[in-house]
């Protein structure tokens, strides 16, 4: 098995035992006969210059990608992988909603990782196109969400949304979130959207701070095509992708969002369940 290990150096450096745990995991993987490559930014400092590889090569040349970081690292890795390689997400950050296990459990999980009997959880991704008079000028891929919003000054925009070509709504707001089921527990949840199980085939449309009491989140079919256009405060309106990429929108441009053909493939170990994650991460059942 060819295994790539992609590491967020900032998160990695903040973990008190990160170096020792990663070293133990790599040694166990090598002992199991795995071909291991490690992100160049960490490999050199860890004394593995012969294992170093740039992040794109980790995706292209691996059967499994182990990602060490927080949820942000997992999101960026999912876009980089583009469904081509399964991801085992290891939390070295804070919330770690998307992670399968904490870094401290990685060495003991090596035998299961190399067993070739891994369970794969496929997650819906979204693709967005920025469309203007000249056609499509930008395409993006997201695991969590696409957000059209106004940056800078706190002036609202008029957000118009269509579903499959039919006008759904127009309202003054700070923007709109179009989220996958995976993204339903991220920004959309903070804006009042529903929690959706990752295996439900839907897309969630959530307005951000709408200036009307009648605006509510809407759940549409997973094969729907959603278009969003803004008017009003036209300066610095942007499409934000997973909270990590940002593309400015010009007057008259429209963002067209649909389910991507690619799906993120997350490795699952043991009996970890979505409902168990909700209880643990959201503190449900605590006084």
Give me the domain span that covers residue 78: 2-118+269-282
Rounded CA gap, 4 and 230, in Å?
42
Sign of CA dihedral 41, 95, 116, 32: positive
CATH number (domain holding residue 164): 2.60.200.30
Same domain, yes or no, for 161 and 244? Answer: yes
Contact indicator for 187, 179 with CB cutoff of 8 Å: yes
Give domain status of residue 18, yes or no. yes
Give yes or no: 71 in active site: yes
235: pLDDT strictly greater than 70: no
Name the domain count of the chain.
Answer: 2
CATH number at residue 63: 3.40.50.10330
CB atoms within 10 A of CB 177: 28
275 and 147 within one domain: no
- State the number of CA atoms in the 13 A half-sphere of 140 facing the CB: 26
| One domain for residues 112 and 137 | no
Instruction: Assign 143 a pLDDT band (cuts: 50, 70, 90).
Output: very high
Residues 57 and 103 in one domain: yes
Is residue 274, in this structure, part of any structural domain at all? yes
**Does one domain contain both 113 and 156?**
no
Residue 49 makes CB contacts below 8 A (sequence gap 6+) with 43
Query: Is residue 67 a part of any domain in this protein?
Result: yes
Residue 210 forms part of a structural domain: yes
Q: What is the mean pLDDT of the chain?
A: 91
| Active-site position among 50, 61, 71, 121 | 71
The reported pLDDT for the residue numbered 232 is 62
pTM above 0.85, yes or no: yes
E-strand ranges in 116-253 read 119-132, 135-142, 145-150, 157-163, 166-173, 175-179, 202-208, 218-221, 226-232, 237-241, 245-249
Residues 104, 13 within the same domain: yes
287, part of any domain: no
Question: Which tens digit of pLDDT belongs to each residue from 260-272?
Answer: 999 999 999 876 7
Give the model's pLDDT for residue 79: 95
Q: Where are the alpha helices (DSSP H) in 91-130?
A: 110-113
Q: Are residues 139 and 177 in the same domain?
A: yes
Q: Identify whether residues 129 and 45 lie together within a single domain.
A: no
pLDDT range class, residue 94, cuts 50, 70, 90: confident
153 in the same domain as 112: no
Task: Quote the pLDDT of residue 89.
Answer: 94
Residue 199 lies in a domain: yes
Q: Is 62 within the bounds of a domain?
A: yes
pLDDT tens across 106-121, in order? 999 998 888 867 899 9
Q: What is the 3-state secondary structure (H, E, C) of 194-227?
A: CCCCCCCCEEEEEEECCCCCCCCCEEEECCCCEE
Q: Are residues 148 and 70 in the same domain?
A: no
216 and 129: one domain? yes
């Amino acid at each position: 098995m060819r295994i790539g290990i992609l590491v967020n150096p900032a998160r990695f450096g903040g973990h008190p035992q990160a170096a020792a745990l990663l070293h133990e995991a790599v040694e166990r993987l090598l002992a199991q006969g795995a071909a291991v490559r490690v992100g160049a930014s960490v490999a050199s400092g860890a004394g593995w210059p012969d294992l170093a590889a740039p992040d794109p090569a980790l995706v292209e040349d691996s059967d499994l990608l182990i990602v060490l970081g927080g949820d942000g690292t997992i999101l960026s890795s999912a876009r980089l992988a583009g469904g081509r390689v399964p991801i085992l997400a290891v939390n070295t950050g804070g919330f770690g909603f998307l992670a399968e296990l904490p870094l401290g459990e990685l060495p003991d999980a090596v035998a299961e990782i190399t067993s070739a009997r891994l369970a794969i959880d496929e997650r819906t991704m979204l693709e967005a196109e920025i469309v203007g008079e000249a056609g499509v000028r930008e395409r993006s891929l997201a695991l969590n969400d696409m957000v059209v919003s106004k940056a800078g000054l706190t002036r609202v925009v008029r957000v118009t949304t269509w579903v499959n070509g039919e006008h759904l709504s127009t309202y003054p707001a700070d923007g709109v979130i179009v989220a996958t089921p995976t993204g339903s527990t991220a920004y959309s949840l903070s804006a009042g959207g529903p929690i959706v199980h990752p295996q439900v085939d839907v897309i969630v449309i959530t307005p951000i701070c709408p200036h009307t009491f009648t605006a509510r989140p809407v759940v549409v079919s997973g094969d729907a095509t959603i278009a969003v256009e803004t008017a009003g405060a036209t300066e610095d309106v942007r499409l934000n992708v997973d909270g990590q990429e940002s593309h400015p929108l010009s007057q008259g441009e429209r963002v067209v969002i649909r389910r991507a053909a690619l799906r993120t493939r997350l490795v699952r170990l043991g009996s970890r369940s979505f409902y168990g994650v909700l209880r643990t991460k959201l503190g449900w059942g605590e006084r």
